Amino acid sequence: MQSRTVFFAALLASLALASLPGFAAAVAEGIPMPAPQPKASAPSMAGTPLRPPAGLSQQPAPAPEAPSVSPKPSARFGQSGSTTAFDARQRTLADRVSSYLSNVRQLTGDFVQVGPDGSKSKGEFYLQKPGRVRFDYSPPSPIELIADGQSVVVRDRKLATQDLYPLSQTPLRFLLADRIDLMRDTNLVGVYADDVFVTVVIEERQIIAGTHRLMMMFGAQDYQLRQWTVTDPQGLDTTVAVYNLDNRRTPDPSLFRIDYTRPIQ
| Cβ(104)–Cβ(86) below 8 Å | no
Closest listed residue to residue 94, CA positions, set 4, 209, 181: 181
Cis before residue 130, ω within 30 degrees of 0? yes
CA distance 61 to 34: 13
Stated as kind and residue range, the H or E segment containing 102 is helix 88-103
Amino acid in the structure at residue 33: M
pLDDT of residue 31: 40
Those residues with Cβ within 8 angstroms of residue 236's Cβ, 6 or more apart along the chain or in another chain? 10, 14, 18, 39, 116
Tell the burial category of 172 from Cβ atoms under 10 Å away from its Cβ (0-12, 13-18, 19+): buried
3-class DSSP state of 52: coil
User: Dihedral through CA 52, CA 230, CA 37, CA 5, nearest 10?
Assistant: 180
pLDDT of residue 230: 85
pLDDT of residue 123: 96
pLDDT of residue 94: 96
Chunked in runs of 10, what are the mean pLDDT values of the chain (265 residues)?
Answer: 37 32 33 38 32 40 31 37 73 96 95 92 96 95 94 91 88 88 93 95 78 91 92 89 94 94 63
Residue spans per domain, the chain: 2-32+44-60+72-244
Secondary structure letter of residue 129 according to DSSP = T
pLDDT of residue 127: 96
CA distance 46 to 56: 27
pLDDT of residue 200: 96
pLDDT of residue 24: 29
Those residues with Cβ within 8 angstroms of residue 145's Cβ, 6 or more apart along the chain or in another chain? 8, 11, 133, 134, 135, 137, 152, 153, 154, 155
Question: Into which CATH architecture does domain 2-32+44-60+72-244 fall?
Answer: Clam (2.50)
